[in-house]
Amino acid sequence: MDIFIVKTLNVKDEKIKKMCEHISCEKRIKVNKFVNKNDKIQTIVADILIRDQLIKKFNIRNENISFNKNTYGKPYVEKIQNFNFNISHSGEFVVVAISEHEIGIDIEKINSIEYFDIAKNFFSNEEVRYIICPNEQESLERFYEVWTLKEAYIKFNGKGLSIPLNSFTIFFDKDNSIKVVDRNEYNNHIFNQINILPGYKLSLCRLNNESIDIKIINQNELIDYFLELIEKENI
């Protein structure tokens, strides 16, 4: 399993337009609707990163890559077996998880928010009790831990917010292992928290206990390399 982490940098409008020529029409429309330039960049970067990996792993042309969505909106690559991906972005970072197996990933920037009301409305009673502690900063970080773990679990299942956030519970055992109880049963999902980005929480959900390879990717190098690949395809 590969986890790609990309820090968002500014991109000239001309290059954004050029990259948009090599993504799907649907994704292009989505990008053009964004008002915030960072949202545009992060959406495009995640898309071309996945395309880059598909080109390398399966020796296919970019123009032959086709994405689709399941009933709940989770994207997948058509006609490609054993290639699963999940995307998340927050603040300055985009993260993409790629695996032969189903995967869910979520990243959130830790902001000082009124988290207690959110937790009471969307978390289970057990999770709310875990979050509340004497240290205010620790409580805030625990909130984001639970939030990203719950989001990763939902994204793994591919059913989006059709799964109510308070319909399942994330548990932290004494040995620091993380488990989920859904419909009063412990599930076999494996959770990881990747603590390498100060000021962020990054969580992963999967069923297969394969090794994780974390790769920090330079955004501009990724963009330039992808555009070079496209140029070679057109020679």
Tens of pLDDT, residues 77-102:
999 999 999 999 999 999 999 999 99
Q: Would you say 15 and 223 are in contact if contact means Cβ atoms under 8 Å apart?
A: yes
- Written as one letter, the residue type at 114 is E
pLDDT in tens, 50-78: 999 999 999 999 999 999 998 888 899 99
Structural domain of 71: 2-101+212-233
Do 129 and 51 belong to one domain? no
Do 93 and 67 belong to one domain? yes
Do 195 and 224 belong to one domain? no
Do 49 and 116 belong to one domain? no
Residue 110: strand pairing partners: none
The CATH number of the domain holding residue 174 is 3.90.470.20
What number is the average pLDDT over the span 171-189?
Answer: 84
> Is 0.85 surpassed by the pTM of this model?
yes
Compute the Cα dihedral for 50, 56, 62, 67 and give only its sign: negative
Q: How many residues in total does the chain contain?
A: 235
In this prediction, residue 172 has a pLDDT band, given cuts at 50, 70 and 90, of confident
Residues 6 or more apart whose CB falls under 8 angstroms from that of 128 comprise 119, 120
